[in-house]
């Protein structure tokens, strides 16, 4: 993955913080990203296309524009949260322990942090990171997040509820190449599951006219989070979420169609693609995933 805006930077850059966002009259929605120059320790602030958010994770290294996936900062952690919706969202400036990552004096640094109590200590999750993990699976979904038409441009879906079987009719705005089983399940959760859809819609409601991203976290009970994080005096800061338990599929069977996946041998009849036959709607963690279950 190449970030064209950073190709001319000779030094290696470490992404430290994702700031706020705004709409440029010509270039569209932009997000502020804050890097540390690993040669001299200097701070670099830049504006990047909002659609790059899926790849913008604190701790990742950028060398002449190329993003290196491995994390330099932080270590692996596993923490259980009683209810993911029971967070106290605060401004980053209200968390003194974030001074190594967040500098209020840099324009566009404003962002929100979700503060949880877990195992007797504070767990700090940047709101943008939880949104990224739950919803921003590719550039198409990212650009739809704050668009008024949102998901309706991407697919025709049932009314949010729980079903035994559903049909998702994707439009050409979604590339056929991304429609793998994991992606279908992720899309079904955020578009059809009542808890997932409520959380998705809340991003637009809270963030569209704000300078930062905010939302109502989904109500997921006894949620186990695995992540790269950094130990701070104030608590444990999440840098990159890797897995999160507690979500459920909105249907036992998910069928889907796409304009470019039609069965032309049947006079244009639409071919139905089935992604899951399992009756267990809970996603499993990566260590126990099967062909019928996603990483949830």
The residue-averaged pLDDT of 245-274 equals 72
Q: At what angle do helices 127-135 and 194-207 cross, to 10 degrees?
A: 130
Q: What is the 3-state secondary structure (H, E, C) of 64-78?
A: CCEEEEEECCCEEEE
Specify the pLDDT at position 289: 31
User: Comparing 22-26, 60-64, 122-126, 203-207, which segment has the lowest mean pLDDT?
Assistant: 60-64
Which is nearest to 255 in space by CA: 173, 158, 190? 158
Across the range 185-207, mean pLDDT stands at 96
Mean pLDDT across 165-193? 95
The reported pLDDT for the residue numbered 278 is 40
pLDDT at 20 exceeding the cut of 60:
yes
CA distance 152 to 191: 9
CA 276/CA 294 separation, integer angstroms = 10
**Which pLDDT does position 70 carry in this prediction?**
64
Spatial distance between the Cα atoms of 271 and 258, rounded to a whole number of angstroms: 8
Q: What share of the chain is helix, strand, coil (3-state, %, to 5)?
A: 25, 35, 40
Determine the straight-line distance between the first and last CA of the chain, rounded to whole angstroms: 25
At residue 108, the pLDDT reads 58
Above pLDDT 70, what percent of the chain? 82
> What average pLDDT does the segment 223-227 reach?
95
Asked if the model's pLDDT at residue 43 lies above 90, the reply is: no
pLDDT value for 55: 87
pLDDT for residue 267 is more than 50: no
In this prediction, residue 288 carries a pLDDT of 29
What is residue 284's predicted lDDT score, i.e. its pLDDT?
42
Q: Kindly tell me if the per-residue pLDDT of 291 is higher than 80.
A: no
* Residue 137 structure tokens: 């699976």
Check pLDDT > 90 for residue 12: no
pLDDT at 245 over 80: yes
Average pLDDT, rounded, for the chain: 82
- Separation CA 226–CA 205 (nearest Å): 28
Q: Which two tokens stand for residue 197?
A: 């859809």
- At 282, the pLDDT band (50, 70, 90 cuts) reads low
């Amino acid at each position: 993955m190449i970030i064209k805006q950073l190709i001319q930077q000779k030094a290696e850059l470490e992404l430290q913080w994702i700031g706020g966002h705004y709409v440029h009259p010509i270039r569209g929605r932009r997000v502020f990203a804050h890097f540390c120059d690993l040669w001299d320790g200097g701070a670099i602030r830049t504006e990047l296309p909002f659609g790059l958010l899926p790849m913008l994770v604190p701790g990742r290294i950028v060398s002449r524009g190329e993003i290196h996936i491995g994390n330099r900062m932080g270590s692996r952690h596993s923490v259980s949260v009683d209810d993911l919706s029971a967070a106290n969202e605060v401004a980053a400036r209200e968390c003194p322990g974030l001074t190594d990552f967040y500098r209020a004096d840099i324009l566009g640094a404003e962002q929100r942090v979700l503060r949880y109590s877990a195992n007797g200590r504070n767990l700090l999750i940047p709101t943008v990171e939880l949104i990224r993990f739950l919803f921003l699976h590719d550039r198409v979904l990212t650009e739809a997040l704050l668009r008024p038409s949102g998901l309706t441009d991407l697919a025709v879906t049932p009314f949010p509820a729980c079903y035994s079987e559903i049909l998702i009719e994707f439009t050409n705005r979604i590339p056929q190449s991304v429609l793998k089983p994991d992606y279908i399940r992720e899309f079904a959760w955020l578009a059809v599951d009542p808890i997932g859809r409520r959380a998705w819609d809340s991003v637009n409601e809270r963030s569209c006219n704000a300078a930062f991203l905010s939302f109502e976290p989904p109500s997921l009970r006894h949620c186990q989070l695995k992540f790269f994080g950094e130990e701070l005096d104030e608590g444990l800061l999440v840098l990159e979420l890797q897995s999160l338990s507690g979500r459920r599929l909105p249907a036992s069977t998910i069928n889907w169609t796409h304009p470019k996946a039609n069965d032309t041998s049947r006079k244009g009849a639409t071919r139905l693609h089935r992604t899951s036959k399992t009756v267990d709607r809970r996603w499993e963690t990566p260590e126990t995933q099967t062909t019928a279950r996603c990483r949830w």
